[in-house]
Amino acid sequence: MSKSSGLILFQQAVEELEAKGKQEDIEKWVRNNRDLFYKLSSAYMKKRGMEKALMAYIIEQHHLCGPGARDPFALQMEWLVSDHSIYCRENALYALYAGGQPEHVIKAYHILTRMRIEHSSKMVTDGLLSFQGDRELLAEELWKNWTHYSTYYKICFVNFFRMISGNFTERLLIVLKDEENDRELRLAVIRYFRKYKYDKAWEYLCCLVEEWRESDWEYAALSALALESYPGKRTIDVLKKGCESRNWYIRYNSAQSLGKLIDHEQKGKFIQNEKDIYAKEMMAYKFMGTEESTDDGCD
């Protein structure tokens, strides 16, 4: 297995044995031969990019990264995340996710931030979702280290939070209200509040729709979509005003959310009573059975 061809044959043999129900035997054998795998991985870390990526894949498949800050496999994978090859970085991260230890993932993203490496944002979020330990604990640890990360990774982490937990509403509202924060970060937070209803965020979302500026219309457009999760007279009034906006995206998203919050009879009355020609046209378009896009128009 000191050659990549042999390593590939080994993994193929493992998969054949797994198909025969030998999973427990394989896991026991791997545990008993950790020293062998560490010797192999130490040699592979000195090889070319694809060979290092292959070894990282083997480490992931067999969950070789163990607990403890000084686990030898985790240390190797933390070093590999700074490699110029996206394949090495991705496989190293997945090896750490498979280990299920939050501290290893935290350290990896500290390294990526310090090295100013921006790994694919989709890969980051998808990878975090594959974490094989306690994902909510991982999310909390990411938040504890929030100030150490670049804005690029903060956006990825908010997307991860949105997928797994509603426990960040109070904290993320502070992020949203801080106008010094990056635009994309604040938009990611608005998407979070579309999924997780939070009454303290509701009024702020309403204000973003009502008091938007030309330079930040994206906040109003996305907030209009988020308001579909906040039924009530105040919300309906705000969305009706949004339908009259001179910005097409705000009108479109406001009409879409409004259509989800009122019944068929109300839709007819809203269209009939609307005096603004552009609002009337948008309501008719969105209310009369047209397909609703899931695109928020703010990417």
Q: Which domains does the chain have, with CATH numbers?
A: 197-294 (1.25.10.10)
pLDDT of residue 295: 59
Query: What is the tally of helices (H) and strands (E) in the chain?
Result: 18, 0
| Model-wide pTM > 0.85 | yes
Tokens of 177: 């209200």
Residues near 170 by Cβ (< 8 Å), separated by ≥ 6?
Answer: 198, 200
Q: What is the pLDDT of residues 124-168, one digit of tens each?
A: 999 999 999 999 999 999 999 999 999 999 999 999 999 999 999
Q: What Å distances lie between residue 88 and 11, 36, 44, 54, 65, CA to CA?
A: 18, 21, 12, 8, 16
Q: What is the pLDDT of residues 240-270, one digit of tens each?
A: 999 999 999 999 999 999 999 999 899 999 9
Q: How far apart are CA 8 and CA 2, in angstroms?
A: 11
pLDDT of residue 133: 95
Q: How far apart are CA 169 and CA 25, in angstroms?
A: 45
Q: What is the pLDDT of residues 9-55, one digit of tens each?
A: 999 999 999 999 999 999 999 999 999 999 999 999 999 899 999 99
Q: How far apart are CA 169 and CA 149, in angstroms?
A: 20
Q: Phi/psi class of residue 116: alpha, beta or left (left: φ > 0; alpha: ψ in -120 to 50)? A: left
Q: How far apart are CA 10 and CA 293, in angstroms?
A: 47
